[in-house]
Every structure is written in structure tokens, then in C-alpha cells.
Structure 1
Amino acid sequence: MDTHMILDYLTELSANNNREWYHAHKAEYQAANAQFEELLQALMLRIGEFDGSILGHAPKELTFKLVRDTRFSHDKSPYNPAFRAHISSMGKLPIPVGYYLMLKPGGQSFLGGGLFADMFKDATRMVRDHISEHGGEWEEIITAPSFQEHFTVGGSALKNIPAGYEKDHPQAEYLKYKSWYLEYPIQDEELANGDLFLSKAVDIFHLMKPFNDYLNRALAGFKMPAR
């Protein structure tokens, strides 16, 4: 897997973010995308050694398009110069939660885990209920030394604890959250060697697994809304 090819293409797309350049360089996109899918395949096989639930998907089923939805954005550039994928038991659906990868030049790459989507009210309620009822387990996961060394729980949150939950609950701050996720930043130089990056990503995702497992237990039985 040639991570240099991936970064070079995305850097060029970022500097030439228009449809004319994109279509004129379709061959370069296809070559870079093939390298990204090769990386995903290797990553899935390695993650599968500690989380077999994610096996069985083709890499192309896990990736997101470069095309941006600009209808409600001030930024009208048509493409997001990033290769992104979500690896979970249900593929790239946001629930169940899994392992998220974004490669974007300029120090914007990261490895992610947890629930990024805060628009599913049922999912938010399910996780809040689980934290409320299993707060000790949550605390044990997020205070583990290896977790604190690498991660900080992120997510959009309310200003106050929502109705129906104890205001003096030990995990009260996390009951305000509407989403709960982890982002581990990756610098461009860490992507220079594809094999070294692969090993780093596998190690980081392994550390995320208890967090993901906790959220997926909370989200058991969640149904994605019908379109």
C-alpha cells in the first residue's frame, strides 16, 4: 500500500478543488483509491484478530465519497480531499459503532471510535440510560491509564443534565452528551511508511475496543430510521 500516493493525490485535490481538475485526473484518483482500499483490507484483517465481528465486508463497502453536499454550506468546494472509512460489524453505518479512519493531508488525519452521530435521539437515550445504569463500568474504561494516555472523550453536549437523570450522578457530565467519540490525531509524517502506520492504527484501534464494546452494548437493538 502506497500511502505516499494517497497523500500526494489528496494534496493535489485540495489545491485544485474543482470538477474540471477532478475529472481530468480520474486515473490518479483511481490509483490512490486502490491504495486506500488495499490499506483497509490489511487493516481489517489485523483488526479481525481481536474483533472478528468486522470481518466479511469488502473495503469498497466501507468508504465514503469525496463529493461534498454543498447545499447548506458557505464552502462551495465540490470535494472533501480526504479518504474516509468506517469499519464495523454493519459496515459503514454509524451504528453499531466501529473503527473510523480519515486520511487528510495537513495534519488533519485521525483514527476514530465511538458514536459520532448525534442526530439519532433513540441512540442518545440508549447510551445515556446505559451510562446511568452502568456508570462504574464506564468510569473503569475511561480512567484506565492506557485510555487516558491516548484519548479524551469528545462529543456534542447539552448545557444541563437532561430531564430524567440524576443531577448528582457520578457520570453526570457524560449524561449531557449527545454523542461519545474518540479521535486520535495522525500527522502526515506518520503516514510516510504504510507498514508502520498500519501497525500504529491497529494498536490504537485495539485500545479503543473496550469503549466501542461498551457503546455497542448500550445500542443493542437500535434500529436505523427508515429513509
Structure 2
Amino acid sequence: MDTQLILSYLKSLSENNNREWYHAHKAEYKEANAQFEALVQELILQIGKFDKSILPREAKELTFKLVRDTRFSHDKSPYHPAFRAHIGPGGKLPVPVGYYLMVKPGGQSFLGGGLFAASFKDATSMVRDHIAANGGEWENILHDPEFQKEFSVHGTALKNVPTSYDKEHPQAEFLKFKSWYLEYSVSDDIVADGERFLAEAVRLFRIMKPFNDFLNQALKDFQMPAR
């Protein structure tokens, strides 16, 4: 699996982030994108062995476009020089939560999971309620030795515990959060070795699964807002 091709294309795009270059190098894009989709398809098969909720899926349904929405951004570069995918029970929708990967040169690649979207107020309330009611289970997931070795929980957070929760709750710090997610940085050297990158992703996503399962249990009645 030639993931080196993905990195070299994205590096060139980041150095030439304009429409002229992009359209002049469409053949290279197609080749790199095909390699990324092959990687994602293999990941779907491997993750499906321990998490059947993500099956069946086609890689091209789960990847994100390179084109950026620059309307509300100071950065007006037209492309996001990264290949990204979310492998979840609902496809690439952020809820139910799943397994996220981003390949971006310069040591910016990462594997992730959990709830990234802090803007879904209903989702935030559901997860807070679930942590408040199932603190022991949450604690066990976070203190599993394998999990602790690889991950810590990230997320945007309030300064104080919301008033509807006990500020002395054992999980009070996590009740401040508005999103709960994991990120694991991956070096360019590992990404460039396709088989090694795939094995590492499968290993980490397997460790991540109980965390995702807990969040998805909390979010089982969540409805994505209408666009």
C-alpha cells in the first residue's frame, strides 16, 4: 500500500495551495485519493472484525473533500491539504461517534475518536447525563491500562460544572466538557509505511472502542439537526 504517494501529493498541494496548481495536477490527486480510499477500505474490514456496527461501508462514502469553505475563515486558501475519513455506524456523520483519521504531512496526521462536535447542545447534555449516571463505568474505561498508555480525553470545556449537576461529583471535571474526544498523533515515517500505519490504526481503534461505545450509548436517541 503506497501511502508515500499520499504524503507527497499533499505536501505539494500545501506548497501550491491554489486552483491553478490543483487543476493542473488532477491526475496526481486521483492517484493519491485512490490510495487513501484503499487504506480506508482496508481499515473498514479490519475494524469490522471487532466493531460490526460500522459495516458494511464503502470508503468513498466516508471521506471528506479537500475543498475548504472559506466564507467565514481568515485563511482563504482553497484546499485543505489533508485526506480525512470518519468510519462510524452512521457513516461519516459525527454522531454516532466512530473512528477518525487525518493524513497531513509535517507530523500533523492523527487518529481520533469520540465526539468532536461541541456545537450539538443536545448531544452534550446526553453525554453529561450519562457520565453523571454511570461514573464508575466511565472511570473504568479511562483507567484501563492500555487506554491510559495511549490516550487522554480532550474537548472544549466550561470553567465550572453546569448548575444542574453536582459539583462534587467524582467525574465533575468531565461534566464541564462540551465535547469528549481522543487524538493520537502519527509521524510521517509511520504514515509513509502503509502496512505499519494500518496495523497501528487498527491497534489504537480497538483500544478506543469502549470509549466510543460509552458515548454512543449516551447518544442513542440523538437526532442530527436538520441542515
Aligned-residue Cα RMSD (Å) equals 0.6
Post-superposition shift, 1:38? 0.3
Alpha-carbon distance in 1 for matches of 2:192, 2:34: 17
Aligned to 1:187: 187
Alpha-carbon distance in 2 for matches of 1:192, 1:11: 13
Matches within 5 A, 1:126-205: 126-205=126-205
Deviations 1:154-203 (A, max 9, x none): 00000111120001000000000000000000000011211111111000
Alpha-carbon distance in 2 for matches of 1:91, 1:136: 30
Aligned to 1:68: 68
Aligned to 1:98: 98
Alpha-carbon distance in 1 for matches of 2:152, 2:78: 32
Segments ≥4 residues shifted beyond 2 Å: none
Aligned to 1:207: 207
Segment of structure 1 superposing worse, 124-133 or 48-57: 48-57
Gap runs ≥5 in structure 2: none
* TM score, norm. by length of structure 1: 0.99
Alpha-carbon distance in 2 for matches of 1:191, 1:22: 23
Alpha-carbon distance in 2 for matches of 1:64, 1:192: 20
Alpha-carbon distance in 1 for matches of 2:24, 2:198: 31
Aligned to 1:24: 24
* TM score, norm. by length of structure 2: 0.99
Aligned to 2:113: 113
Alpha-carbon distance in 2 for matches of 1:126, 1:136: 17
Aligned to 2:83: 83
Gap runs ≥5 in structure 1: none
Post-superposition shift, 1:206? 0.2
Identical amino acids, percent of aligned pairs: 70
Alpha-carbon distance in 1 for matches of 2:194, 2:69: 31
The count of aligned residue pairs is 227
Alpha-carbon distance in 1 for matches of 2:99, 2:65: 17
Post-superposition shift, 1:56? 1.1
